[in-house]
């Protein structure tokens, strides 16, 4: 696909959906596409479906127009997914995808095998927002669209810091700046700023973290009862795994929190030696070489054991190579 206009030809209704527990890249790409279609294809009836987006994305125009529930079964002419690595990650919009006349997947996950009719997947690109920008008409990227795209880019590149950041990423960021986006505010308020409680919880996880495998692996964890004590949910825990990764000597950081009894969400970050997407895929998850995740069942002890065993395998294979 060279331009999104190609798939919009003759289309009257479009649905857009992202992945479960949407992050900045997911919200940014879905909203950028929504705002773009709404403005430049006014004859198309477009709807965007996402799990409740966090308040930190309040600066994105028309964020309140996101549908957080599917009220009626609809058969869209076209359903587009953004930042969704696999069909089972769609959650909320799964039924709409199922019944759409045609489907499109725009993504940047290496683990994505292409589950739509048209797949525009670029595994080497840092964010779905960057992939999306590549198929928009650059002259039509206005302040509102640029704000959404920029938000996604900073979230998936750790503010242009991760190795996936390319000269092209920076070029696009420069183009977006030309529209006058409040970039300092977007970075601070949507990425770095934490509530007092969120900082307290991060402090607690760091204080209780464990170093394994000669200090190459660090694990932080949070149990449901402690989350309830602080009154936090999964969306309050962003940034914790990134901070763990910054521990000197560490190759892989693991952060685990309890979704419900015997059910855990696992986040993995690597400094380069270990491909954590392989580890995540092994356990039914997905992601990128340096940032991946999966959901696991069992006791916390089992989850830690199983994950670290896979990481150790990769580290020893590498040593023996």
Query: Interface residues with ligand AMP (CB under 6 A)?
Result: 85-86, 89, 267, 285-288, 291-295
CB of 133 to Mn ion, least distance (A): 13
Binding at 128: pick from Mn ion, ligand AMP, none (beta carbon under 5-8 Å per type): Mn ion
| Residue whose CB is less far from ligand AMP, 11 or 86 | 86
Using the rule CB under 5 A, give the single segment among 148-156, 201-209, 292-300, 311-319 that binds Mn ion. 148-156
**Partner in contact with 292, chosen from Mn ion, ligand AMP, none, beta carbon below 5 to 8 Å by kind:** ligand AMP
Indicate the residue among 156 and 258 with the shorter CB distance to Mn ion.
156
Rounded to a whole number, what is the distance in angstroms from the first to the last CA of the chain? 40
CB of 213 to ligand AMP, least distance (A): 20
Q: Which of 260, 250, 259, 256 is nearest to 268 (CA)?
A: 256
Identify what 145 binds: ligand AMP, Mn ion, none; CB under 5 to 8 Å per kind: none
Q: How far is the CB of 214 from ligand AMP (least distance, A)?
A: 24
- The nearest distance, CB 292 to ligand AMP, in angstroms, is 4
> Could you give the string, one character per residue 66-85, with x where binding to Mn ion holds by CB under 5 A and - elsewhere?
-----------------x--
For 18, residues 6+ apart whose C-beta sits below 8 A from its C-beta are 26, 27, 29, 30, 49, 50, 51, 81, 82, 83, 84
On whether the CB atoms of residues 80 and 96 are closer than 8 A, the answer is no
Contact 123, 129 (CB under 8 A): no
Among Mn ion, ligand AMP, none, what does residue 85 contact (CB within 5–8 Å per kind)? ligand AMP
* Residue corresponding to tokens 């900045």: 24
Residue nearest to ligand AMP (CB): 293
Instruction: Give the nearer residue to ligand AMP in terms of CB position, either 11 or 310.
Output: 310
Interface contacts to Mn ion, rule CB under 5 A: 23, 25-26, 83, 128, 156
């Amino acid at each position: 696909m060279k331009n999104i206009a190609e798939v919009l030809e003759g289309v009257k209704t479009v649905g857009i959906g992202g992945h479960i527990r949407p992050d900045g890249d997911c919200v940014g790409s879905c909203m950028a596409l929504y705002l773009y279609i709404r403005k430049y294809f006014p004859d198309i009836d477009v709807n965007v479906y996402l799990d409740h987006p966090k308040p930190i994305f309040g600066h994105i125009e028309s964020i309140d127009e996101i549908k957080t529930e599917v009220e009626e079964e609809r058969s869209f002419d076209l359903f587009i997914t953004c930042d969704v690595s696999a069909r089972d990650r769609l959650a909320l919009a799964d039924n709409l995808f199922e019944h759409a006349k045609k489907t499109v997947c725009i993504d940047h996950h290496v683990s994505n095998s292409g589950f739509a009719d048209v797949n525009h997947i670029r595994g080497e690109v840092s964010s779905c927002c960057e992939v999306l920008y590549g198929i928009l008409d650059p002259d039509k990227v206005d302040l509102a669209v640029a704000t959404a795209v920029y938000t996604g880019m900073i979230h998936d590149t750790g503010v242009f810091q991760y190795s996936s950041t390319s000269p092209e990423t920076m070029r696009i960021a420069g183009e977006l700046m030309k529209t006058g986006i409040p970039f300092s505010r977007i970075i601070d308020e949507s990425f770095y700023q934490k509530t007092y409680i969120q900082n307290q919880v991060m402090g607690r996880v760091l204080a209780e973290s464990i170093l394994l495998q000669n200090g190459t692996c660090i694990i932080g964890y949070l149990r449901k009862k402690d989350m309830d004590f602080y009154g936090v949910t999964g969306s309050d825990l962003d940034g914790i795994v990134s901070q763990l990764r910054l521990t000197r000597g560490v190759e892989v950081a693991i952060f685990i929190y309890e979704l419900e009894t015997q059910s855990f969400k696992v986040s993995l970050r690597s400094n380069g030696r270990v491909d954590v997407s392989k580890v995540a895929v092994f356990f039914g998850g997905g992601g990128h070489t340096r940032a991946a995740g999966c959901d696991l069942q069992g006791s916390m002890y089992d989850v830690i054991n199983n994950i670290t065993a896979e990481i150790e395998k990769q580290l020893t294979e590498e040593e023996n190579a």
